[in-house]
């Protein structure tokens, strides 16, 4: 008796995937082709970088250090206020956008709003609202808060939907209202994730506040723009040193707190 021949399945054809990759490749080639780039100057780039690093860091102007620290503190304040406002606005909206806690039409509306906000950079939002609030740090804080609604809202409803359903079903079986289910069935499990997201958003806002200073809303970015325009590179070097150190310290502290929240304290070995 002859053994049956095995017929391998045909490789699936995906013409639309091929067309998509061709379109992406063509767009990338056209983008490089249409941009007016002096490619011959790329060879001079390393030497120019070394030259400007020497201008900025060979002899920094430490007399500007107190002012740099003060303006950096204003940027941190801007980031902190923007984070708090974003949390207060985004958290209840994210709960309503979660599946099972809000009507379908409201979920679709809120998720579309979160996507729309995420598509607009903070600096564009600040330019739009500065006609009302003026060139003040509060303008930057509002821009960070509005932009934070998009990210915190999305992270929030995803965290709620990832909660195990057991406590939620128990709260509903006990006759709890939607608010009570969120309070006792969702929040105890989702709280560490929310705290982690809030701290991470604060880290993002600290870096973004320096960028918002480019349009004149105050902080270290405003000072950095002014001294760069006047080509006072020794002062620019001091500003960059302050920005890098402060940002790294905040990121390190926030990261340690986030790890403590998510992982808990480590057990000590008793000897």
Per-residue pLDDT tens digits for 230-260: 888 888 888 889 988 988 898 888 888 888 8
Residue 212 lies in a domain: yes
Per-residue pLDDT tens digits for 200-218: 899 889 888 888 877 877 7
Residue 143 lies in a domain: yes
Per-residue pLDDT tens digits for 5-20: 666 666 666 777 777 7
Residue 39 lies in a domain: no
Which of 190, 193, 209 lies closest to 101 in space, CA to CA? 190
Residue 14 lies in a domain: no
**Cα–chain-centroid distance for residue 179?**
29
Q: Which domain holds residue 146?
A: 54-263
Residue 221 lies in a domain: yes
Residue 170 lies in a domain: yes
Cα atoms in the 13 Å half-sphere on the side-chain side of 16: 0
H helices present in the chain, as ranges: 15-34, 45-57, 65-97, 104-118, 122-133, 137-161, 165-173, 178-181, 187-212, 220-229, 233-263
Residue 25 lies in a domain: no
Rounded to 5°, angle at Cα 148 from 224 and 205: 30
Identify the top-confidence range among 5-14, 139-148, 217-226. Answer: 139-148
Yes or no: say if 218 and 140 are a contact pair by the CB < 8 Å rule.
yes
Give the pLDDT of residue 88: 94
**Cα–chain-centroid distance for residue 138?**
19
Neighbours of 111 (CB within 10 A): 17
User: Residue 125 pLDDT > 60, yes or no?
Assistant: yes
How many domains would you assign to the chain? 1
Q: Which residue has the tokens 């790329």?
A: 42
Residue 142 lies in a domain: yes
CATH number where 110 lies: 1.10.3720.10
């Amino acid at each position: 008796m002859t053994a049956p021949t095995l017929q391998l399945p045909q490789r699936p054809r995906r013409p639309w995937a091929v067309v998509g990759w061709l379109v992406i490749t063509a767009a990338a080639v056209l983008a490089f082709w249409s941009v007016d780039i002096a490619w011959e100057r790329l060879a001079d780039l390393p030497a120019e970088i070394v030259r400007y690093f020497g201008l900025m860091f060979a002899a920094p102007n430490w007399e500007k250090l107190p002012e740099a620290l003060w303006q950096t503190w204003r940027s941190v304040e801007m980031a902190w206020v923007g984070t708090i406002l974003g949390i207060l606005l985004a958290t209840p909206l994210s709960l309503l956008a979660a599946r099972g806690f809000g009507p379908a039409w409201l979920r679709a509306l809120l998720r579309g709003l979160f996507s729309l906000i995420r598509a607009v950079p903070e600096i564009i939002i600040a330019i739009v609202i500065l006609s009302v609030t003026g060139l003040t740090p509060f303008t930057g804080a509002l821009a960070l808060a509005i932009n934070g609604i998009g990210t915190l809202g999305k992270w929030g409803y995803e965290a709620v939907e990832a909660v195990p359903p057991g406590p939620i079903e128990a709260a509903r079986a006990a006759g709890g209202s939607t608010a009570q289910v969120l309070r006792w069935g969702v929040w105890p499990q989702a709280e560490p994730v929310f705290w982690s997201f809030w701290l991470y958003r604060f880290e993002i806002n600290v870096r973004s506040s320096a960028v918002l200073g480019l349009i004149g809303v105050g902080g270290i970015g405003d000072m950095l723009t002014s001294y760069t325009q006047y080509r006072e590179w020794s002062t620019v070097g001091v500003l960059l040193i302050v920005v890098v150190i402060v940002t790294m310290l905040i990121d390190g502290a926030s990261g340690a707190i986030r790890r403590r929240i998510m992982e808990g304290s480590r057990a000590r070995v008793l000897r």
